[in-house]
Amino acid sequence: MMTSKERMMRALHRGKPDRLPVSVHQWQTYHLNQFMNGMDALSAFQATGMDAAIQYFETMGQFWIPEAEKQAAQSSQWRDDILVVSDDPANKILHHIITTPEGSLTYKTGGNLMTTWITEYLVKKHEDIELIDKYMPVGTLNKDHVAKAYDEVGDAGILRGFVWGDQAGCWQHACCLMDVNDLIIETFENPDWVHRFLQILLKKKLRFIEESLRGAKFDLIETGGGAGSDTLISPKIHREFCMPYDRQMHRALHECGHLTTYHTCGGMMHILDLIMENETDASETLSPPGTGGNISEPEKVREKYGGKVAMIGGMDQFNVLSTGTREQIQKEVRRLFEGFGPEGGYILSASDHFFETPVENLRIYAEAAKECTY
């Protein structure tokens, strides 16, 4: 019998493990506190019988993590002064003033026990991106802390990391700094400016990869983001404004010895070719229609990827995993295995975040996957 790490790594290398690896995407603190008696994510994976996929967030810069403001990178030339309008964990409201030698920028965020969101975006004028270029600092990863986390996971699963930024992909990061609707309009009216914006972010991400991810002990690095899905933008926009930047990051990560997974929450059926072109090792989230995606026929994705890209996800975490009966969960696990996974290279996972899923359903899900053997 393989260990969980061996099983998942075999699938990521597009091979056949002993059985179907089974996991979830990013165990949320809310669920751990409300349903798992406050245990940590690794313990939760073990308690439910799953293969662990542990997300490492320190210094990664993701704004949407609860209390992310405590990890924000600052410097003498990029000072983030935070006005706490409400510190209620169920209704957090923060106003940020960024002070640089050449002017100030502002943005606002809100949050609750589940997630955070942006209510005012940082980039409001074209010239604002030049302040980002000159002064926004790039976080530095503590590789000793990563190594400790890697050892703690051990054979129980894999340790996942991110590329620094509000989100890992350049387009997704830009959509966290500027309203996505405005950014899409800019791709038509001022495409050169959008490329300048993305190049600024790419330069900082490549620096983070070289300085912080080279030599860091991760099994998998997440890139991409839902703003690049075909739910939000056309394949044409994706080809010009996502794919070239994603590919440069993947090449840099590969040069450092890392495997990559391209995260696409939302529709991806119409950009599968572009995902292959960006040279990622794996593709997630394979979201079905019930979660806002458009993957309804898994075998079509498998045929398109043709063994060239590993696959992660597919499980409807709302309409099946959270509310389904034992029989419905078991049937869906088998359907996904037969659609995505008969030739290997597939990790069954909840397609994205879940919040109200009964623990017993997670155990049924894990047990059903263990019946899917190679």
**Separation of alpha carbons 300 and 97, rounded Å:** 48
The whole-number average pLDDT for the span 154-177 is: 94
Q: What is the pLDDT of residue 187?
A: 98
Which domains, ranges and CATH numbers included, belong to the chain? Answer: 4-72+138-370 (3.20.20.210), 74-121 (no CATH)
pLDDT of 69 above 80? no
pLDDT, tens digit, 9 for 90 and up, residues 35-67: 999 999 999 999 999 999 999 987 776 665 656
The whole-number average pLDDT for the span 233-248 is: 98
DSSP state of 165: S
Spatial CA neighbour of 68 closest among 13, 117, 34, 31: 117
| Contact predicate 166/61, CB 8 Å | yes
Distance of CA 144 to the CA centre of its chain: 23
**Cβ contacts of residue 226 below 8 Å, gap of 6+?**
172, 232, 263, 264, 265, 266
Residues 63, 67, 70, 71, CA torsion sign: negative
pTM for the model stands at 0.96
pLDDT of 87 above 80? yes
**Cβ contacts of residue 146 below 8 Å, gap of 6+?**
56, 58, 159, 161, 216, 217, 218
Based on its alpha-carbon atoms, the radius of gyration of the chain, rounded to whole angstroms, reads 20
pLDDT, tens digit, 9 for 90 and up, residues 246-255: 999 999 999 9
**Percent of the chain whose predicted confidence (pLDDT) is above 90:** 89
pLDDT of 332 above 90? yes
**Separation of alpha carbons 285 and 347, rounded Å:** 10
pLDDT of 114 above 70? yes
pLDDT of 235 above 80? yes
